[in-house]
Amino acid sequence: MSLKQFHLYLISDSSGETISLVANAVCAHFENAEAIEHLYGLVRSDTQLERVFETFKANPGPVLYSMVDTDMAQRLEKICAAYHVPCLSVLDPFVNMLAEHLDVKIRREAGTQHRLTTAYFARIEALNFAVAHDDGQSRGSLNEADIVLVGVSRTSKTPTCMYLAHRGVRAANVPYVRHIELPAELLQAKDPLIIGLTASPTRLVQIRKNRLLSLNEKTETEYIDRQKVKDETVEARRFFANMGWPVIDVTRRSIEETSAAILNLLEEKKAGKDR
């Protein structure tokens, strides 16, 4: 079946981050359709909206939007109706439903989710923490972490920590290396949730080979020896089990899926404390 391409317009009076995430999630459901995305952020005036219309009229397509100015939203919906293409506000249905349920007034102000709030500064602090505690660095404050990830090389420890930091989670990671003892600070930590990351030896060898090639390193070493890697992963999993740490296999997981599993474990830990 041939691939069907279509123009998709994402229009927001804020950064456009939320609407872009929604669009990606929606488009992922279609096997033979590919969106040509047109993202317009910070559209807050009629002049800016007219510029959007210029592109839209040349290549009409479905519109997803997030705008608090009702007059501009109505203009957008009117032109979409004239071109017989769908036009949907991605937030209004839930905002209106929740406002009715809570019996509260809706705040009509663009970009409120990006204010410099306490939560915003917590995310920045979490990012700084993740950078400072990457790959076993900055020992002495590991017990201040919410999460500590432990795993052999190339189990996506660093990118997972960075993703978690964007969610406001203070995440650190420590490499597991055969025949090298893990730091006492990690083994004595009481507050963080410590999680072991693992992956199939075949996948690890593939990733490690690609890593070495990117560094123009062609020498065959134990780092990519299939049996050595297998022994390494078995030893690591055995150690995690002995420590009673939960283990997540990242072989077929994206960073987002791994992080979701980690956040679920963190919620379970918090719920246990609350009981």
Does 110 have pLDDT greater than 80?
no
**Segment 80-107 mean pLDDT:** 88
Query: Is the separation of the CB atoms in 146 and 154 below 8 Å?
Result: no
Compute φ and ψ for 189, nearest 5 degrees.
-65, 135
How do residues 111-155 score in pLDDT, each as one tens digit?
555 555 677 788 899 999 999 999 999 778 999 999 999 999 999
Measured distance CA(122)–CA(37) in Å, rounded: 32
**Given this model, what pLDDT does residue 105 score?**
79
pLDDT tens digits along 206-234: 999 999 988 888 787 889 999 999 999 99
Q: Which two tokens stand for residue 189?
A: 């930590």
Top pLDDT among 92 and 192 is at 192
Question: Three-state DSSP class for 248?
Answer: strand
Q: pLDDT tens digits, residue range 235-251?
A: 999 999 999 999 999 99
